[in-house]
Amino acid sequence: MPFFKSEAVVLQATDYAEYDKIVSLYTKNYGRIKGIARGAKRSQKRFGGALEPFTCNEVDFFEKEGHGLARLESCRILNPYTAISQDINKIAYGNYLLELVNILTPEREKHPEVFRLLLFFLNLLSEQSPREEILRIFELRLTSLLGYQPQFLQCVSCGQSFRLQEDYRFSIKKGGILCSGCHKGNQAFLSLSHGTIKLFQQVQQVSLVKLNRIRFSPASRGEGKAILLNFLEYHIGKKPKSLEFIEHLKQ
Ligand SMILES: [Zn+2]
């Protein structure tokens, strides 16, 4: 029975049967893992608060051959992220980060950069008041790491590089900008300004530590939300559930 150890962030935990919990974890060493924590509901002693969403743990687990679920043996809390779990707005934004990782990452595919990105954004959310553009930046960076980032450097139809004289629109299906020769003024494509295109190019390219200095103009906030949420919904096939809660809090 192989035994594993890794740092991991709890993405989701749901009650299972009488005493157990099913947990979705994003681990640094093995990617996204689904596991069962036996007795977690019955006894607080063994897992304590370690299975709460956002919590970063060092986890030990093992796998029985031919069994889809890993068996969670123990957790040692490294960071409980209480600054997030005690603030309703931070919970709403944080849940969205966790849900995107849960939906978009393939199970058991090692990707330490995704783990690093998630921790970076949980730290950011923990330390600052939540800003909606943080979600847009996370969407752009996560899709880039997973290899299906929207394209802002060149027209996705003819391949011509971005230039300032051109008027662009965005194609959800093709996942990128279209030049005027390719969109032909078709209103079915979403409009976006040069400012937003250049901003998104920057978000996709700068180092992680510089991301926090980036600020969106009101226009880019609106365009970014329309484009990226539609783009993600097209890929996922549905709207992420946690978006509803964010919208509800804003009202
Ligand atoms: Zn074109």
Whether residue 110 contacts residue 73, with contact meaning beta carbons closer than 8 Å, is answered with: no
106 DSSP 8-state letter: P
Domains and CATH numbers, the chain: 131-251 (1.20.1440.120)
**What's the whole-model pTM score?**
0.95
pLDDT, tens digit (0-9, with 9 covering 90-100), for 146-193: 999 999 999 999 999 999 999 999 999 999 999 999 999 999 999 999
95 DSSP 8-state letter: H
Q: Which of 38-42, 51-55, 83-87, 229-233 has the lowest mean pLDDT?
A: 38-42
Mean pLDDT of 27-45: 89
Whether residue 33 contacts residue 75, with contact meaning beta carbons closer than 8 Å, is answered with: no
Whether residue 40 contacts residue 20, with contact meaning beta carbons closer than 8 Å, is answered with: yes
Is the pLDDT confidence value at 3 over 80? yes
Cα gap 223→203, rounded to integer Å: 15
Residue ranges of E strands in the chain: 3-16, 20-27, 31-37, 56-62, 70-79, 169-171, 176-178, 190-191
Centre of ligand 1 from the C-alpha of residue 161, in Å: 9
Is the pLDDT confidence value at 1 over 70? no
Centre of ligand 1 from the C-alpha of residue 36, in Å: 50
Centre of ligand 1 from the C-alpha of residue 153, in Å: 12
Residue 105 CB burial class (10 angstroms; 0-12, 13-18, ≥19): buried
Centre of ligand 1 from the C-alpha of residue 91, in Å: 41
Centre of ligand 1 from the C-alpha of residue 166, in Å: 10
Centre of ligand 1 from the C-alpha of residue 175, in Å: 13
Centre of ligand 1 from the C-alpha of residue 206, in Å: 26
Centre of ligand 1 from the C-alpha of residue 172, in Å: 15
Cα gap 85→87, rounded to integer Å: 6
pLDDT, tens digit (0-9, with 9 covering 90-100), for 66-118: 667 899 999 999 999 999 999 999 999 999 999 999 999 999 999 999 999 99
Model pLDDT, residue 222 = 96
Centre of ligand 1 from the C-alpha of residue 178, in Å: 5
Residue 213 CB burial class (10 angstroms; 0-12, 13-18, ≥19): exposed
